[in-house]
Amino acid sequence: MESRRLPSSSSSEKKLKRREILEKKKAIDQLIKAAYAQNDHLDYFPPFRHFQRNGVCVHLESGRGDKLSSSEKHYIQNLLKVNMEGPYGSEWPTEEKVKRREMVAPEARYIFVREGKPPNASATEDKAPIVGFVHYRFTLEEEVPVLYVYELQLEPRLQRKGLGKFLMQLIELIARKNCMGAVVLTVQKTNLLAMNFYLSKLRYIISSISPSRVDPLTRVDKSYEILCKVVDQEYKTVLEVYHLNMVKTIMWSIAHSTCFILSPLVHAGWRVDEQSRANFSLILGKFLRYADYAL
Ligand SMILES: CC(C)(COP(=O)(O)OP(=O)(O)OC[C@H]1O[C@@H](n2cnc3c(N)ncnc32)[C@H](O)[C@@H]1OP(=O)(O)O)[C@@H](O)C(=O)NCCC(=O)NCCS
């Protein structure tokens, strides 16, 4: 009779780890589902339904991409063109099409900024005009559940009156309430005012997943940066720290500098016996392959 082998401690450890990873993944999926299942994210933050400061009086209302009226769609497209055609430059026609698709996605959640005080619950009059909006979603970035701000747009006459900061404070509260790890967003590098707004005023940082951070040596120059603010410290290392990429970069630099220094020496007749040369080539080849693969 064949005796059953007991699993080795390393294989049971692996199984346990795999199970832990799967359970964590499941829990994160549940978080995102729960965040989407909530009907109105503003319900938890009644003081944020109304903004009255610096001569601006507006109220906020929730919306969804798959429930937009045609006038809301028109408004969004127009404001995007007014605010974003400049920063996108020649990329705008392509980007405009992408934004049109994103606008109506079922996952798209909105906060509409409407003129005037909030209407009474019993009021039957038409809705007040929109003067700005936030489009956000709950999603995964590097296995981290995040609130991703797709758009934050205010009409030019309402800018620089504290409303953008107010909306981003609300977004951070919504992210925390729904147990997200961070707020993430993309900004065009040419949109200097928005960059200054997020980086200097709101203390966002360029994320480790941003193109300029992912691969500092061989990166293709992209026109945007991904910014983030971690709201759950558990995820700080994933979205903020880019030490792994730095390690890869350093390895790559060492390997290539070694080649750079040694090859002229060898060409100049530096005498090395056959065996050492073969060993050296083998080790360097492996190191280079690993460094290139890692990068
Ligand atoms: C970027 C935007 C959302 C900022 O909102 P806002 O309401 O104008 O900004 P706020 O008034 O809340 O400003 C917050 C801080 O940022 C600074 N700031 C805002 N706009 C600025 C600007 N144009 N120039 C310099 N500083 C600016 C303010 O000084 C303020 O600092 P303070 O509180 O110390 O005074 C808004 O200007 C906008 O809709 N811009 C066009 C669309 C856009 O670029 N969206 C971002 C795409 S990612």
The better pLDDT of the pair 238, 91 is held by 91
162 Cα to the center of ligand 1, angstroms: 7
Asked whether 227 and 204 are in contact (CB, 8 A), the reply is yes
Distance CA 214, CA 130 (A): 38
Asked if pLDDT for residue 103 goes beyond 50, the answer is yes
CB of 162 sitting under 6 A from ligand 1? yes
For residue 253, the model assigns a pLDDT of 59
Distance 158 CA to ligand 1 centre (A): 10
Question: Positive or negative, the Cα torsion across 257, 260, 261, 266?
Answer: positive
Cα distances (angstroms) measured from residue 227 to each of 184, 188, 210, 211: 6, 11, 7, 11
Average pLDDT in the 159-172 region?
Answer: 98
From the CA of 153, give the closest atom in ligand 1: 39
Least-confidence region, from 81-90, 143-152, 160-169, 259-268: 259-268
CA distance 13 to 65: 44
| All structural domains of the chain with their residue ranges | 21-241, 245-294
Ligand 1 and 190: CB distance under 6 A:
no
Residues 70-78, mean pLDDT to the nearest whole number: 98
Ligand 1 pocket check for 197: Cβ under 6 Å: yes
pLDDT of residue 157: 97
What DSSP character marks residue 180?
-
E strand spans, 155-252: 182-188, 205-206, 224-230
Average pLDDT in the 24-51 region?
Answer: 96
Confidence of residue 284 (pLDDT cuts 50, 70, 90): low
pLDDT at 243: 46
pLDDT for 110 beyond 60: yes
CA-only gyration radius of the chain, Å = 26
Burial (0-12, 13-18, 19+ Cβ within 10 Å), 184: buried
Q: Is the CB of 165 under 6 A from ligand 1?
A: yes
**Ligand 1 nearest-atom number relative to CA 191:** 44
Scan for tokens 């705008």, then name that residue.
92
Q: Is the separation of the CB atoms in 186 and 225 below 8 Å?
A: yes
Owner of token pair 């994160």: 28
Query: Shortest CA distance to 48 belongs to which of 172, 185, 160, 152?
Result: 172
- Cβ of 86 below 6 Å from ligand 1: no
Q: Is the pLDDT of residue 163 over 90?
A: yes
- Position 63 scores a pLDDT of 97
- pLDDT tier, 75 (very low <50, low <70, confident <90, very high otherwise): very high
Token pair of 279 as six digits: 């060993």
Lowest mean pLDDT among 21-30, 151-160, 199-208, 280-289: 280-289
Residue 155: pLDDT band (50, 70, 90) is very high
pLDDT band (50, 70, 90) for residue 295: very low
**pLDDT confidence bin for 261, thresholds 50/70/90:** low
User: Does residue 90 or residue 290 have the better pLDDT?
Assistant: 90
Check residue 46 and report its DSSP letter. G
| CATH T-level assignment (fold) for domain 21-241 | Aminopeptidase (3.40.630)
Q: Whose CA is nearest to atom 48 of ligand 1?
A: 187
pLDDT exceeds cutoff 80 at 91: yes
Confidence of residue 239 (pLDDT cuts 50, 70, 90): confident
Q: Check residue 11 and give its pLDDT.
A: 84
pTM of the model: 0.80
Q: Which residues pair with 151 in a beta bridge?
A: 135
Q: Give the pLDDT confidence score for residue 236 in this predicted structure.
A: 80
Mean pLDDT in residue range 108-123:
89
